[in-house]
A and B are shown apart, each in its own frame.
Chain A
Amino acid sequence: MAITSAPVKSVGASQSPFLSTAMFAPAVLYILLLVGGPFLLAIFYAFSDARIGNTELHYVGLENFRSILQSPSFRIAIRNSLIFTIGSQIVVIVSANILAIALESAFRGRGFIRFLILLPWVAPISLGAIGWKWLLDSIYSVISWVLVALHFFKPFSAPMWLGEPQLAIASVLLVHSWRIIPFSTVILLAGRTAIPKDIPEAAAVDGAGFWRTQLQIVIPMMRPILSVAVLFGLIFTFTDMTVVYILTAGGPFDSTQTLPSLAFTMGIQGSDLAAGAAISLFLVPLLVILAYFMLRLARRAEVS
């Protein structure tokens, strides 16, 4: 083979400088029009008194932010957003690890079980949430029916899963977890199978039992892929409003509102566009932090 000192050029780039621009354009346009535009509009509205059905617009400074910060619903929404996001990620990571360990070893029907576990991720989130709405319904709940049949509760006195603030919060949190678990399981399973078999075997010979091998060897070795799963899970849950909107619509008494659902309730349903925009802007700093970590992870994956 001949060795030349000329730097290797990528063929496409040297042939046509327009080609690369053309290939990039759809993605850039999409982001500018459908993400950038609304984002700038949201900032603009947040400093105005925009309302649905009102054509006039006035600059009001920080008035929207002041009134939001004083609203108890907003504080509950922030608290819930954090509870749902962090709480469900804890449930998700624990369950996904257990499932990944179980699905790692070969057994009859493993393919089918894997398929079942993946279903919640494949199904549209709104359909899944509607299914849960029925499972948790105050009258027709299958879960209540089973608990009554097992004599945990007397007939007609089973808990209102979505009707009591504490239970509603727990229900929403668990549905969020149910939604993300398959995704994390698949990622963790991939991370697990990437660990050479020798390593847990060496740990076994070295005298480590199941827990020590998992906690001190396998899980630390999966840290990069684990953080991918956690970051994606955090973002999916933090920005999601479908689950809350369908299950409780933020109720009872705004007790399950999150930032996105409150923004929707106030901005669209309540016609107060300015307030909705201002609320949704509170998502930005947290998402910027998450995006920073994701980019760092992506960079590291590129390097290694």
Chain B
Amino acid sequence: MAVVQTRNLTKVFKEGHLGAVNNVSFETREGEFLVFLGPSGSGKTTLLRMIAGLETPTSGDILIGGQVVNHLSPRDRRIAMVFQSYALYPHLSVYKNIAFPLKAQKVPKDQHRQKVEWAAGLLGIGALLERKPRELSGGERQRVALARAIVREPAVFLLDEPLSNLDAKLRASAREELERFHRSVGTTSIYVTHDQVEAMAMGDRILVLNKGVVHQLGSPTAVYDDPADTFVATFLGSPPMNLAELNEVIVGFRPEHFLPSVNVTGETVPLRFKVENTEYLGSEWIVSGTLVGGKLDSKKVVSRLPNAQHLQLGGVYDFVVPTRTLKFFDRTSQKRVAAKDVTWQ
């Protein structure tokens, strides 16, 4: 096991263009499950590929286990990677796929069978060893890819959107399986995804990236409850946080904190809310509309409620936001600032 660290890591693909990864510095914890989260084009995959050694950094350092590995080839970094497509070798059986890293690393031949069976057993694919990848389902392929990654007991696991090729139902169970798998092997893992639900569910910590820049590194609760800037505030959470420019700051509140006034006690900000659309999602309702009166007149906002049956389209209701849930951001830098007194009316 090992800690992965980057120092001012930058990757510029075309000279003169904006870098895909810009000055990224972070450090994993021992045995941690770290998630790189960002929209497509945010540089998260490039960052992972640099750590894997598949991409050469333009500047900066990568350290694995305290040792600079910039000049090392992928094979010498003691990493294992699971690709989005799984990248199984189509002409080899499952057994030979899993044994390939052992062969490549020149592990004595008499240990192969035992190690392959151990890895296959860990992932419950012991019965599939003689099959070819094309005879496997999506979930089974993913497990083979994981088994191939685990078999030589790497110091670090790198996973590049390994769930994105699975259908929604399979994805939930595969996610759970991955979590269980990580708990049982305890290897430091870096997981790339654009799916905030995956990131929140699986990550010990989340590194939020956009345009090659780190916006925040923190636990799921930290990035959700204490977003460092407006990007993090709106990228995490569905529907995203309501943001409104008020005086010299941007004020934000989450849809689940924007509630009918009767439901809330304590210090609140009262707002008039005109309901324009409701969506029933089974366990909750998404209500969108505009504010009425005050400085934020006709500002579009969204509310998330357990029940919205009593709300009429076109009706205007008294809603509130608990004061302690308000987030404040600087108008120019978009960065989080301390709570301020603002006038709403």
Complex CA–CA separation, A208 to B83 (angstroms): 16
Contact A196–B85 (Cβ < 8 Å): yes
Complex CA–CA separation, A242 to B84 (angstroms): 52
Contact with A along B61-75 (1 / 0, CB 8 A): 000000000000111
- A154 nearest CB across to chain B (Å): 49
Complex CA–CA separation, A95 to B1 (angstroms): 44
Contact A208–B91 (Cβ < 8 Å): no
Complex CA–CA separation, A196 to B83 (angstroms): 11
Return chain B residues, CB-CB under 8 Å to A208.
75, 100, 104
Q: Is A221 interfacial (CB-CB < 8 Å)?
A: yes
Contact A202–B104 (Cβ < 8 Å): no
Return chain B residues, CB-CB under 8 Å to A302.
none
Complex CA–CA separation, A196 to B89 (angstroms): 11
Complex CA–CA separation, A208 to B103 (angstroms): 8
Contact with A along B82-100 (1 / 0, CB 8 A): 0111010111000000001
Q: Is A164 interfacial (CB-CB < 8 Å)?
A: no
- B32 nearest CB across to chain A (Å): 20
| Chain B residues numbered 137-152 whose CB sits less than 8 Å from any CB in chain A | 148, 152
Contact with B along A168-209 (1 / 0, CB 8 A): 000000000000000000000000000010110111111111
- A108 nearest CB across to chain B (Å): 15
Return chain B residues, CB-CB under 8 Å to A209.
75, 104
Number of A-B contacts (CB under 8 A): 59
Return chain A residues, CB-CB under 8 Å to B53.
204-205
Contact A205–B79 (Cβ < 8 Å): yes
Return chain A residues, CB-CB under 8 Å to B81.
201-202, 205
Contact B91–A203 (Cβ < 8 Å): no
Q: Is A217 interfacial (CB-CB < 8 Å)?
A: yes
Q: Which residue in chain A gives the minimum CB-CB distance to B49?
A: A201
Q: Is A212 interfacial (CB-CB < 8 Å)?
A: yes
Q: Is A223 interfacial (CB-CB < 8 Å)?
A: yes
Q: Is A131 interfacial (CB-CB < 8 Å)?
A: no
Q: Which residue in chain B gives the minimum CB-CB distance to A217?
A: B89
Q: Is B54 interfacial (CB-CB < 8 Å)?
A: yes
Q: Is A155 interfacial (CB-CB < 8 Å)?
A: no
Return chain A residues, CB-CB under 8 Å to B90.
221
Q: Which residue in chain B gives the minimum CB-CB distance to A220?
A: B91
- B275 nearest CB across to chain A (Å): 38
Q: Which residue in chain A gives the minimum CB-CB distance to B84?
A: A198
Contact B74–A205 (Cβ < 8 Å): yes
A196, A208, A223 pick with most chain B CB within 10 angstroms: A208
Q: Which residue of the partner chain, among B73, B89, B148, contacts A204 with CB atoms under 8 Å? A: B73
Q: Which residue of the partner chain, among A201, A207, A216, A223, contacts B54 with CB atoms under 8 Å? A: A201
| Chain B residues numbered 257-312 whose CB sits less than 8 Å from any CB in chain A | none
A207-B101 contact, Cβ under 8 Å, with A198-B83, A201-B83: yes
Q: Is B80 interfacial (CB-CB < 8 Å)?
A: yes
Complex CA–CA separation, A74 to B167 (angstroms): 66
Contact A205–B52 (Cβ < 8 Å): yes
Contact A201–B87 (Cβ < 8 Å): yes
A206-B85 contact, Cβ under 8 Å, with A220-B91, A223-B91: no
Q: Which residue in chain A gives the minimum CB-CB distance to B101?
A: A206
Contact A206–B104 (Cβ < 8 Å): yes
Contact B104–A199 (Cβ < 8 Å): no
Q: Is B333 interfacial (CB-CB < 8 Å)?
A: no
- B31 nearest CB across to chain A (Å): 21
Complex CA–CA separation, A27 to B278 (angstroms): 67
Contact B80–A205 (Cβ < 8 Å): yes
A198-B75 contact, Cβ under 8 Å, with A206-B100, A206-B101: no
Q: Is B105 interfacial (CB-CB < 8 Å)?
A: yes
Q: Which residue in chain B gives the minimum CB-CB distance to A195?
A: B90
Complex CA–CA separation, A201 to B158 (angstroms): 13
17 A-B pairs in the complex with CB atoms less than 8 angstroms apart: A196-B85, A198-B87, A199-B89, A201-B74, A204-B53, A204-B54, A204-B73, A204-B74, A205-B52, A206-B75, A206-B101, A207-B75, A207-B105, A208-B75, A212-B103, A212-B104, A221-B90
Closest 5 CB pairs of A and B: A207-B104, A198-B87, A202-B87, A206-B101, A207-B75
For the A-B complex with A202-B81, A212-B103 known, give 17 more contacts whose Cβ atoms are closer than 8 Å: A196-B85, A198-B83, A198-B84, A198-B87, A201-B54, A201-B74, A201-B87, A203-B89, A203-B100, A204-B73, A204-B74, A205-B54, A205-B81, A206-B101, A207-B105, A212-B104, A221-B90
List residues of B whose CB falls within 8 A of some A CB.
52-54, 73-75, 79-81, 83-85, 87, 89-91, 100-101, 103-105, 148, 152
